[in-house]
């Protein structure tokens, strides 16, 4: 995974690809979270395969792409019509393909300005949360992370409670991984980083995009601390300082 979908940390993909090649292995990276959000050069990274998805960069849902370096052998898992150069049989989604290409062009063109803007907004939100709410931890690498990812763990309360309270204020966030939103289990990513189950359960993730503004950040920092304070008052684990 080029960049983690929960905590936003960008992995050392170039180094990992080098190690894989030293041992004679092909290297694939899931770059769904990163393509369109930060510069990616497959030649610089040295990856053999890279996957991306349209809906993560404002393209159509249900369309994606797999980059395959010339000379890398891939065996098909769907057979029949021999579409996509005999790699994936099935009628091609031409409107989706065109939409994906257009969305990618727009996203890449906006990267020089949009990337730094979102990174500044991310850092502003993270700093504001850590300063205004005690016993709050920033999850993931502080700087080597997706420009639009804010992920923190708030002690003594459940992430789901915070999600519901924020929804009432018109703010959409997630707790843990959105890909596992139907699960009550704590995020395996956060547990794998060495945090306890209760810390993983207290996680909140914000994903920033092109429509988010400084005013949105101000609003979030205004309404979220009182929500945390109210939920902590009901928590048997919290001892007020």
Q: What is the pLDDT of residues 144-181, one digit of tens each?
A: 999 999 999 999 999 999 999 999 999 999 986 445 45
Boundaries of CATH 3.40.640.10 in the chain? 13-106
CATH class of the domain whose range is 13-106: alpha beta
Catalytic residue, from 130, 179, 197, 234: name it: 179
Name, in order, each residue with C-beta under 8 angstroms of 67's C-beta and a sequence gap of 6 or more: 42, 47, 49, 50, 51, 52
Check pLDDT > 90 for residue 65.
Answer: yes
How much is the pLDDT for 97? 96
What's the average model confidence in pLDDT over 209-232?
Answer: 97
Question: Among 154, 153, 91, 145, which Cα is nearest to 122's?
Answer: 145
What's the average model confidence in pLDDT over 49-76?
Answer: 95
Q: Is the pTM of this model over 0.85?
A: yes
Q: Which residue has the higher pLDDT, 31 or 92?
A: 31
Check pLDDT > 80 for residue 239.
Answer: no
Q: How confident is the model at residue 86 (pLDDT cuts 50, 70, 90)?
A: confident
How much is the pLDDT for 183? 60
179 is catalytic: yes
Please give the backbone phi and psi of residue 2, each rounded to the nearest 5 degrees, phi first: -65, -45
How much is the pLDDT for 181? 53
pLDDT above 70 covers what percent of the chain? Answer: 96
pLDDT per residue over 20-36, tens digit each? 999 999 999 999 999 99
What's the average model confidence in pLDDT over 62-76?
Answer: 94
Check pLDDT > 70 for residue 236.
Answer: yes
Q: Which of 19-33, 62-76, 78-92 has the lowest mean pLDDT?
A: 78-92
Boundaries of CATH 3.90.1150.10 in the chain? 111-233
Fold of 111-233: 3.90.1150
Check pLDDT > 80 for residue 238.
Answer: no
Question: Among 21, 55, 69, which Cα is nearest to 13's?
Answer: 21
Residue 62: how many other CB atoms lie within 10 Å: 12
Q: How confident is the model at residue 184 (pLDDT cuts 50, 70, 90)?
A: low
Name, in order, each residue with C-beta under 8 angstroms of 18's C-beta and a sequence gap of 6 or more: 46
Q: How confident is the model at residue 237 (pLDDT cuts 50, 70, 90)?
A: confident
Do strands 136-138 and 49-53 pair parallel, antiparallel, or not at all (unpaired)? unpaired
How much is the pLDDT for 83? 87
Joined together, the tokens standing for residue 111 give: 């990267």
């Amino acid at each position: 995974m080029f960049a983690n979908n929960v905590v936003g940390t960008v992995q050392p993909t170039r180094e990992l690809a080098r190690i894989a090649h030293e041992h004679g292995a092909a290297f694939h990276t899931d770059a769904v979270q990163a393509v369109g959000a930060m510069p990616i050069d497959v030649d610089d990274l040295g990856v053999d395969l890279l996957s991306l998805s349209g809906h993560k960069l404002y393209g159509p849902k249900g369309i994606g792409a797999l980059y395959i370096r010339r000379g890398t052998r891939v065996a098909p898992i769907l057979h029949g019509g021999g579409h996509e150069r005999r790699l994936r049989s099935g009628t091609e989604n031409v409107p989706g393909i065109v939409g994906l290409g257009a969305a990618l062009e727009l996203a890449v063109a906006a990267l020089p300005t949009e990337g730094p803007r979102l990174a500044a907004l991310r850092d502003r939100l993270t700093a504001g949360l850590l300063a205004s709410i005690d016993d709050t931890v920033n999850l993931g690498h502080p700087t080597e992370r997706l420009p639009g990812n804010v992920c923190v763990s708030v002690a003594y309360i459940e992430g789901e409670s915070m999600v519901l309270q924020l929804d009432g204020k018109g703010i959409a966030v997630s707790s843990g991984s959105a890909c596992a939103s139907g699960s009550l289990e704590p995020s395996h990513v956060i547990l794998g980083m060495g945090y306890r189950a209760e810390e993983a359960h207290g996680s909140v993730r914000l994903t920033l995009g092109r429509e988010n503004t400084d005013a949105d950040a101000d609003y979030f920092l205004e309404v979220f601390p009182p929500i945390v304070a109210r939920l902590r008052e009901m928590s048997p684990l919290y001892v007020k300082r």
